[in-house]
Amino acid sequence: MVTFPAVIDSGSEAKLCASLLKPNESLVMNIHLVHGNQSTLLLQEKAEEEFHRCFNFKAPLVEAESVQNIKVELHGKAFKMTEERKVMFKPYHPLTFIQTDKPIYNPGQTGEL
């Protein structure tokens, strides 16, 4: 089982958690971030017993909303599984809010922040 947020801010540190419960053989788990024909390996874990692990990865920088895929491959000698799920990366637009001591100033008046 692999869990991650459905929407992630561009360039942020995102958390991904992977769990493997009661394997009956030695398995290799590969987790990739796939966009078009590009694939980035996020995690490769070989396990002979169950594990639960969370780790952070740097989300890609995007200028506009981008839907990509997280691809999980799990394989051993007698078992193979591949699953893909979508994830959206949204651009980060910081906003600055300035609050003054009154809503309207007359010309020449000074304000306090």
3-state SS track over the chain? CEECCCEEECCCEEEEEEEECCCCCCEEEEEEEEECCEEEEEEEEEECCCEEEEEEEECCCCCCCEEEEEEEEEECCCCEEEEEEEEEEECCCCCCCCCCCCCCCCCCCCCCC
Tell me whether residue 104 is in a domain. Answer: no
Within-domain flag for 25: yes
What pLDDT does residue 113 have?
Answer: 61
> What residues in the chain have per-residue pLDDT under 70?
113
Whether 70 is in a domain gets the answer: yes
Q: Indicate the pTM of the whole model.
A: 0.75
Count of alpha carbons within 13 angstroms of residue 39, beta-carbon side = 11
Domain membership of residue 107 (yes or no) is no
CATH code (residue 29): 2.60.40.2950
Structure token digits, residue 13 = 């540190």
Structural domain includes residue 100: no
Confidence (pLDDT) at 23:
85
Residue-level pLDDT at 86: 96
56 φ, ψ (degrees, to nearest 5): -100, 145
Q: How many domains does the chain have?
A: 1
Residue 108 inside a domain? The answer is no
Domain-located, residue 109: no
Residue 79 structural domain: 2-90
What pLDDT score was predicted for residue 41? 95
Which residues lie across from 74 on neighbouring strands?
Answer: 29, 81
**The amino acid at 49:** E
- The verdict on residue 113 lying in a domain is no
Count of C-beta atoms within a 10 Å radius of residue 30: 17
